[in-house]
Chains A and B, each alone.
Chain A
């Protein structure tokens, strides 16, 4: 497999996972940008554990997941039922704080970053294959869990919260508890993604975790469709692939292109390309076809 294809497959997978990490809290109308800070915190933690303390990658990955989940849970205690704009500002604040902290901590390379992280398997090819298998296995597991969530009572409760919080409360939905659940799970996913993201490049740098990343994930989720989990599966490779097939002079403007696509979709197709109705039609058609 060529290096370009490897990067396309792995980064697209990270985009899918991260947009799911945003999608899940958005089911209760929370734009949980804390996930990008979770990526940064868990990524640097794993990098430090592996490079400086000699931990095995698997252990560092687990630490990354735990750190992500823990930060997400603690923050969710305060903003589990906060308004969307408060959740947004808390997320952005965490990105700033964690970036500033990393900038000033020499043990994780400060502004220089961490380079030359060890391979997760013996040879470069094995390293790439392992990362690829790991990230797609994660997509299957996370996708399955989100699918089950969506088809459960809790998922339906989340849909009610999105439409009308007062109605959800009067129906007995514990909004705060639900908010905590989805926020913690999304931070957990983001923590793991942060670890893998760095090991794809075998380095960590603050430039990996900028506000552009927030913009990209947001574009993926809103262009793909924020009402179902399937939109991100299509939009992530399409949008990332777009920047690869464009001529370099145009591709350098990819954020402008993403922003323009995001605005166009919000105006012309407010629910994104894969709407809930479309997903339902596809699901029923598929089940009918299976019965035949």
Chain B
């Protein structure tokens, strides 16, 4: 029973990261109309930036968090004109081409991380960030600082985004664009500026996720982005593309399922089992469990 509880706690914290990533991903999908497959790679890049800042500032966590957020926002906003140009070229919203473009961006980021940082070897974050001792330990159940932080920030950030989307004017603008871009333009919503705001917002979210992921895992590697990217896209598809509430449920469920599989099955088969379950859901319900909101 203790193993079960411990793994559920692990799963909840991991799931909250998936939820945050899926939220940022869906935000870009809904407002900017792009499948930003490289969004998790942007997050992993920000983890590396945080690691560099930690190394050269004597483990200043505040500066590392700021650097992670800044790099994530910058990468997102810099890529915005490229996506906009593709849309303009085709004179229509072409989600598939944006996905190809994003895969290209992902290739570049992953390779830069493979060559430009720590000789391509995985990086380890200092104990000051990760936390040396558990906050709480009862038998096999231990609660680390990273787990509490990821859960807390996850809840706050997702609630904040839901509030922003459903209770504020900018949020209404976001949703209007998602519902009908031409209609939104007619009622005076600036599409370009609102789109850029969504890039910046998902960038801020990306920076926060980078720090949380660093706290939770304690390490990063160039290939982490690809692995996470795949899971985030899977969460979004299983939930239904653009479905924020669905992403919340599926992200947490995937985190818990993965942790339980890891807890009870040895070897690297655990990852495959999680992927098989994901695959079955995708194959039998290609439009998602909660419906596509595009």
Give residues in A with beta carbon < 8 Å to B: 29, 31, 75, 78-79, 82-86, 88-90, 92-94, 96-97, 100-101, 103-104, 211-212, 214-215, 218-219, 222, 252-253, 255-256, 258-260, 262-263, 266-267, 270
Contacts and interface: CB of A to CB of B under 8 A. Distances in A.
Most buried by B among A92, A93, A100, A101: A93
Contacts of A100: 268-269, 271-272, 275
Contact of A215 (B86, B95, B107, B237): B107
Contact of B86 (A89, A93, A270): A270
Given A89-B282, A256-B112, A266-B97, A104 B104 contact: no
Most buried by A among B96, B227, B278: B96
Contacts of B99: 31, 84-85, 88
Contact of A90 (B86, B90, B272, B282): B282
Contacts of B287: 83
Q: Which 7 A-B pairs have the closest CB atoms?
A: A100-B272, A259-B108, A259-B107, A255-B111, A78-B283, A262-B104, A215-B107
Interface size class of B (residues with CB under 8 A): 35 or more
Contacts of B278: 93
B100 A266 contact: yes
Contacts, number: 121
A256 B282 CA distance: 31
23 contacts: A31-B96, A78-B283, A85-B95, A85-B99, A85-B237, A90-B279, A92-B230, A96-B230, A96-B272, A97-B275, A103-B268, A104-B272, A219-B104, A252-B115, A255-B110, A259-B104, A262-B100, A263-B82, A263-B105, A266-B100, A266-B104, A270-B86, A270-B90
Given A100-B269, A255-B107, A31 B282 contact: no
B85 interface: yes
A205 B139 CA distance: 42
A260 B276 CA distance: 33
A236 to B, nearest CB: 17
B209 to A, nearest CB: 20
A90 B230 CA distance: 10
